[in-house]
Structure 1
Amino acid sequence: MKFLQPRSLMGQMLLAVAVALLLVQGLGAVLVYRAQREGYETGMLNAAAFRLIAETRGPQWVARKLRKQDDAPFAGPAPRGFPLEFSTRLPIGAGEVRDERAQSRLSDILRDQDFPDSDVIVVHRAVGEDPVARLGMVMRGRAHHLEPEEIAESMDDHLLVVAVRPKQRDNWMIARVRTPRAMNILLMPIVLQTLFIYVVLVGAVALILRRITRPLAALTNRVERFSMTQDADGQLEPSGPEDMRRLIVAHNAMEARIAAMLDEKDVMLGAIGHDLKTPLAALRVRIESVQDEAERSRMAMTIEDIVRTLDDILSLARVGRPSDPRERTELSALVASVVEEYEDLGNPVELGDSERIVLELRPTWLRRAMRNLIDNALRYGKNANVSLKREGNLAVIRIEDVGPGIPEDTIDAMMDPFTRGDPSRNSLTGGAGLGLALARAVAEQHGGALSLSNRHAADGQVEGLTARIAIPIG
């Protein structure tokens, strides 16, 4: 049932238009059918009244009426009738329902023709349910050499049975009028007409919507691509209606301005990095002349802390516009190589379960994200366990420690820049608080996400923190 729940703008608008048209056309078709059917029923009542009146007025009245075309008893295809029947029995069967509305209309017709005041009964039957009509159809079919199938088909036609008994008489005059064939088939032309109008209108609306939604879809794709690359190349040509053209032109101008601002930012950051790293390098040389070894060591650590913070700031600012292309990489090998770097240095980092997963990514950036997470695990949890698994369409890297975890109400805030669990900014306890922010930016750069969660023991106590990088495969 997805076609009843379209997600695109064009699909939703077409569905709304289609439903509205279906309701309007359906209502119109019902009204037209009822009007035409009422016209035929009026003709049938007039035909029955004509036969009843003719029986009481004589052949001269009939001839006079037939010569006057403007005074014809009914319009449209002539209803087919049967000879009048005279009976003393009530002309209504068990379970049959009298048509009160038709009785009232017939009484009005007879009254207008000065017919004697009478009791009137009108019922509806199928031809095959009425003995007189059934016999008449059989005899008529034989006279016209009709096939048995044709005669049997006529037995389902609608039959109007009209019975009138003047007040001064005991006998009922019964007239039977069969529905003209045109009435039996008038529903199909109405249905076909409705479907034709429906298809034409929906088709016209679809063409108009397509002219609007095609450039809108192209603009959506362009916005998504620009959000990933921030590259102003390949802008859209204005197309579609005037409003859509203006929107595309405005978007192109906005893209160009954003790209120019990002270029200016990169130039500014490069200048800042150069201007700051040069004097820091000079300071490293000058501190060698300091005689106090403890003081010299503290000064060197301060310089290294400034350099790391500067590198993190520059990296975080540039992660949204990476210059290196994606490479097809075996992620399991990359994870193992990062773990080996720490093992070679004697750090308590272990490689857990790992599956072979190959995908396109930026290895340098992902290495840095993993290092930041492992450094945090070592700093606060004293050890780190790294694993790689496939979960559906995601490659998931987990880095687990056995530290105190993070308060639940601060987990999301911990991934913001310059936010740290330890409020101090001592290099021994964790730098400026950019590691998690950079790791999250790298994960988002690859279309994935970084999440943090505490692990709990059976008694509910926190037994460590799990950092999870999930990257889409393919």
Structure 2
Amino acid sequence: MKKLVERLWPDTVASRAIMVLVAALLAFHLLGFWAYRVGVESLATAARDRGLAEHIVSIKRAIASAPAGPERDRAAHDLSSASLEVHWSKVSLILGSAPMTERTKTMDARLKELAPELAAESFRVGFADDGALGSGNADAYRHMMLVSVQLADGSWVNFSSSALGAHQSIDWSVIAVTICFGVGIVVVALLLLRWATRPLRDLAIAAERFSLDQTPQPLPENGPIEVRRAARAFNTMRERIQRLVTERMQAMAAVSHDLRTPITRLRLRSELLDDDATRDLIDADLGEMEAMIDSTLEYLRGGVSSEMIRPIDLASVIETIVDEHIDQGHHVSLMGLASAPVLGRVLSLKRAFSNVISNAIKYGETASVTISEIDDHLIIAVEDEGPGIPQADMERVFQPFVRLEESRGRETGGTGLGLTIAASVIRTHGGHVSLTNRAAGGLCVTITLSKADQIKGRQPNAPSGYSTDGADPQRQIA
């Protein structure tokens, strides 16, 4: 239930502001309509009561001035109207024993207040549904008000009004006008809110597209003061990040240059050693130091490169890496597409796939690389036959300088930056890297990249291999 409410709850500033505005307008209109209804009914009731009191007094006087008998009865009928019936009789229409309810007392006091002349005479007020009628079915006269005024000769003028208690009908035209005003206000507010929140959308887009390898374009500082402050803070933050990364790279470049000089001197001096075993150990340590420097610098770049993005054939890049490992005597196989066009940087992608394939060879002794495509994406799977990675460490191995001592001992060398650098490079190319353990044992590294337009001169779906005339759709390099 909570998730359903969260999904239905507006998620943007404009939609939430519109919801608040609609709720406020609805509450305002309901309150206004209630006040309008109360005011109209109050005015209508006061006017009706005043008219009724005046009619009772005037009709009573007219009938009293007429001769007794048929003349008074005829005058009563002549003075009747659609909303007020008048009858003259020898008896009161209202029983003297009729109960006095709160409604009856209120109307009695109201009429006497409006017509003080009635207070000095015998005057009765009742309602048919309160039992004021002496006969007949009271339900047929429900809500009918009855008034009886006694004349000087003891006869009675009886009044009955069905207008009392009748409810005012709903004025739908007023409601329609109110709804039209409300819809107009919401539409105008929506347009204004979209205009006012546009700088926020621009800020979000700029943050999503932020990249260290691009020339920063200042975000326009417009809109409300809060948005201008946020845009100004974002521009300042981006400049600081660019400056910090540049200074860090310059510092590391200087340190690496200073370290390479003594490493080179040590390597030259090791050549003077007569002990071959000792010389080989020193050369291996110096080579590991150089590899650590290169890996650390590559990691600190964070995917930043001055190399231009251009169309490349990723299959050719991977094939070059595989050939290098084959020349070194490693067991590597390459299968799948002969052409894998992408947009990217050759050196960065080559470094990323070199790290992944080298890890597979280092920890699994063999590596199997498969290039395939699904829709508009290229899928590169690198499988090994090593010990795999515990499920709990699948995410942790992407962190810098992390090495799993249980399965990847120090004797394998490395700095724990291979997968970190590979993931960073793939991420800057709009792809992602995932790890899974194979059912048969070993690790499978899956890299997904967006496919670019076909590279001119290559057949993307042609049979793969070292020759284009073979019928085998796969190539094996071992």
Q: TM-score, normalized by length of structure 1?
A: 0.69
* Number of aligned residues: 402
What amino acid does structure 2 have at the position aligned with 1:454?
N
Secondary structure at the aligned position of 1:368 is classed as: helix
Q: 1:469 aligns with which of 447, 461, 464?
A: 447
Q: Distance in 2 between matches of 1:357 and 1:468?
A: 15
Q: CA RMSD in A?
A: 4.3
The reply on whether 1:164 has 2:165 as its aligned counterpart is no
Aligned residue among 172, 177, 191 for 1:192: 177
Closer, same or farther: CA 230–242 of 1 in aligned 2, 3 Å? farther
1:45-79: CA deviations, max 9, x gaps? 55455555554443799xxxxxxxxxxxxxxxxxx
Does structure 1 retain, via aligned residues, the 8 Å contact 2:363–2:408? Answer: no
**Contact residue 386 and residue 399 of structure 1 kept, 8 A:** yes
CA contact (8 A) 1:81 1:176 kept: no
User: Which residue of 2 is the match for residue 225 of structure 1?
Assistant: 209
Per the normalisation by structure 2, the TM-score is: 0.69
User: Counterpart of 1:28?
Assistant: 32
- Where do residues 409-424 of structure 1 align in structure 2 (5 Å cutoff)? 409-422=392-405
**Contact kept? 1:425, 1:431, Cα under 8 Å:** no
What is the DSSP-based 3-state SS (H/G/I as helix, E as strand, rest coil) of the residue aligned with 2:271? Answer: helix
For the residues of structure 1 that align with 2:216 and 2:239, how far apart are their CA atoms?
9
Q: Secondary structure at the match of 2:303?
A: coil
Cα distance between partner residues in 2 of 1:415 and 1:22:
53
CA distance in 2, matches of 1:8, 1:469: 34
2:249 maps to 1:266? yes
* Structure 1 partner of 2:473: none
In 2, Cα distance between equivalents of 1:395 and 1:104: 90
Equivalent of 2:44 in 30, 40, 44: 40
Secondary structure of the equivalent of 1:289?
coil
Unaligned runs of 5+ residues in structure 1 are 62-79, 92-99, 124-158, 458-462
Aligned to 2:160: 174
SS of 1:229 mapped into structure 2? coil
1:119 maps to 2:126: yes
Confirm or deny that 1:241 pairs with 2:227: no
- Residues 84, 159 of structure 2: 8 Å contact kept: no
Alignment of 1:96-135 (within 5 A): 106-112=107-113, 113=115, 114=118, 116-121=123-128
User: Which secondary structure does the structure 2 equivalent of 1:365 belong to?
Assistant: helix
Cα–Cα, structure 1 residues 109 and 268, in superposed 2: closer, same or farther, change >3 Å? Answer: same
Instruction: Identify which range, 320-329 or 435-444, moves more after superposition.
Output: 320-329
Name the SS for the 2:223 alignment partner. coil
Which amino acid is 2:380 matched to? I
Structure 1 residue 312: deviation in Å? 0.8
The secondary structure found in structure 2 opposite 1:450 is strand
Alignment of 1:73-472 (within 5 A): 81-82=82-83, 84=85, 106-112=107-113, 113=115, 114=118, 116-121=123-128, 162-164=144-146, 166=148, 173-177=159-163, 186-193=171-178, 195-196=180-181, 199-200=184-185, 203=188, 207=192, 209-210=193-194, 212-226=196-210, 228-229=211-212, 231=214, 233-332=216-315, 334-343=317-326, 345-354=328-337, 358-390=341-373, 395-422=378-405, 429-456=412-439, 463-471=441-449
Alignment match, 2:460 = none
Take 1:179 and 1:391, find their aligned partners in 2: how far apart are those partners?
76
The superposition leaves residues 218-264 of structure 1 with CA deviations (integer Å, 9 ceiling, x where unpaired) of 233333333x2365632134323334334433333332232222222
AA in 2 matched with 1:199? G
Shift of 1:308: 1.5
Q: Give the Å deviation of 1:361.
A: 2.6
Partner Cα separation in structure 1 for residue 336 and residue 88 of structure 2: 99
- TM-aligned CA distance change 1:87 to 1:357, over 3 Å: farther
Contact 1:383 1:402 in 2 (8 A): yes
Compute the displacement of 1:435 (Å). Answer: 0.9
Greater displacement, 368-377 / 197-206: 197-206
Match of 1:96 in 2: none
User: 2: CA distance between counterparts of 1:222 and 1:286?
Assistant: 53
SS of equivalent to 2:264: helix
2:11 aligns with one of 3, 7, 20: 7
Contact 1:381 1:402 in 2 (8 A): yes
User: What are the superposed Cα offsets for residues 62-106 of structure 1, whole Å, 9 maximum, x if unpaired?
Assistant: xxxxxxxxxxxxxxxxxx944627699xx9xxxxxxxx9976754
Whole-angstrom distance in 2 between the partners of 1:174 and 1:24: 40
Structure 2, unaligned runs of 5 or more: 66-80, 94-100, 131-140, 453-478
1:402 to partner: Cα distance: 2.4
**Partners of 2:44 and 2:8 in 1: how far apart?**
39
Shift of the alpha carbon at 1:294?
A: 2.1
Going from structure 1 to structure 2, the CA distance change for 1:31 and 1:230 (only over 3 Å counts) comes to farther
Which AA in structure 2 matches 1:174?
S
Q: Which residue of 1 aligns with 2:98?
A: none
Displacement of 1:425 after TM fit?
9.6
Equivalent in the alignment of 1:129: none
Write the distance in 1 (CA, Å) between the matches of 2:413 and 2:308: 31
What one-letter code is carried by the residue in structure 1 that aligns with 2:173? M
2: distance between equivalents of 1:122 and 1:355? 97
Contact 1:454–1:465 (CA under 8 A) maintained in structure 2: yes
Asked if structure 1 preserves the Cα contact closer than 8 Å seen for 2:310 and 2:343, the reply is yes
Counterpart of 2:295 in 1: which secondary structure? helix
Q: Is the 8 A contact 1:14 1:206 kept in 2?
A: no
Q: CA deviation at 1:188?
A: 1.9
After superposition, what is the alpha-carbon deviation per residue over 1:105-162, rounded to whole angstroms, capped at 9, x for unaligned?
5444334443722321379xxxxxxxxxxxxxxxxxxxxxxxxxxxxxxxxxxx9963
Partner of 1:150: none
Distance 1:352 1:101 in 2: 97
Identity %: 27
- Code of the aligned partner of 1:110: L
**Structure having the higher Rg:** 2
CA distance in 2, matches of 1:177, 1:216: 60
